[in-house]
Amino acid sequence: MPLETKITRTIVTATAEEWAEIANVDVVIVGAGPAGMTAARYLAEKGLRVVVFERRLSFGGGIGGGGMLFHKIVVDEKTVPILEDFRVRYQKRNDLYVVDAAELMAKLAAHAIDAGARIIHGVQVDDVIIRYDPLRVVGVAIQWSAVIMSGLHVDPLFVYSRAVVDATGHDAEVLSVFSRKVPEAELIIPGEKSAYAEEAEKLVVEKTGRVLPGLYVAGMAVAALYNLPRMGPIFAGMLLSGKKIAEIIAEDLRA
């Protein structure tokens, strides 16, 4: 058999086997940013089947850009236990903790994967799956990002799940789709306010949680949903939000 044939068959069969499993999972997390990957690790550690869909061909969300392309970000003291869980090195300066952006991205992803979560790149959530009595979200409709970018009309595939987390950041993409397509839910996405870092760091974590049965929000999507201020290149709230949503979902799925 030619090597080229072996390459194609091996990739296609291995991928098909994994996609058959992904078709029904416990938790779908949309967005491989800091909140999404933190949640993925803590949920997978609890034995839940977790898949993260990321529309880009990379992970890290806003971490990679640092602060205005400087390759450092900061967190606060409350986040140190999470950094230590993920074995991320840090330095204390001015009552903040400085972290290398590339190291944080790499270790968030590596620990999520090592815990058992799958991160699938180049996939966008195009819609959600709903049920009634009561109104709830039971999965997502997914499409290749390249197909959406090309403007082609191609029907999506479905992934059934017990929980869906919008961790897509500033645009709150999943919540926005749900708001537009399920008007009876009366879910309004006002978008985030201008910067107020101290308030944003606190409020994003406080407001992280369940939106309605089966649908959850974490990270900057929380700010978009509740019209909270933005905080810039401090990521404590993002990491704490990811850990909090993992705790909430784990408790809900045990109920």
Cα–Cα dist 130/128, whole Å: 6
> Residue 122: which residues within 8 A CB-CB, separation 6 or more?
54, 55, 56, 57, 144, 145, 146
Q: Judge whether 23 is annotated as a binding position.
A: no
Query: Do residues 63 and 85 lie in contact, with contact meaning Cβ atoms separated by under 8 Å?
Result: no
Q: Judge whether 214 is annotated as a binding position.
A: no
Q: Judge whether 95 is annotated as a binding position.
A: no
Q: Judge whether 220 is annotated as a binding position.
A: yes
| Helix spans in the chain (H) | 3-22, 34-45, 80-85, 101-115, 145-150, 173-181, 197-207, 220-226, 236-254
**Closest C-alpha among 19, 37, 28 to residue 161:** 28
Q: Judge whether 121 is annotated as a binding position.
A: no
Give the H/E segment covering residue 142: strand 136-144
Query: How many CA within 13 A on the CB side of residue 32?
Result: 30
Q: Judge whether 153 is annotated as a binding position.
A: yes
Q: Judge whether 54 is annotated as a binding position.
A: yes
Q: Judge whether 68 is annotated as a binding position.
A: no
Q: Judge whether 16 is annotated as a binding position.
A: no
Q: Which residues are annotated as a binding site for NAD(+)?
A: 35, 54-55, 62, 125, 153-155, 220
Q: What residue numbers does the annotated binding site for glycine cover? A: 230
Binding residues: 35, 54-55, 62, 125, 153-155, 170, 220, 230
Cite the annotated binding site for Fe cation by residue number.
155, 170
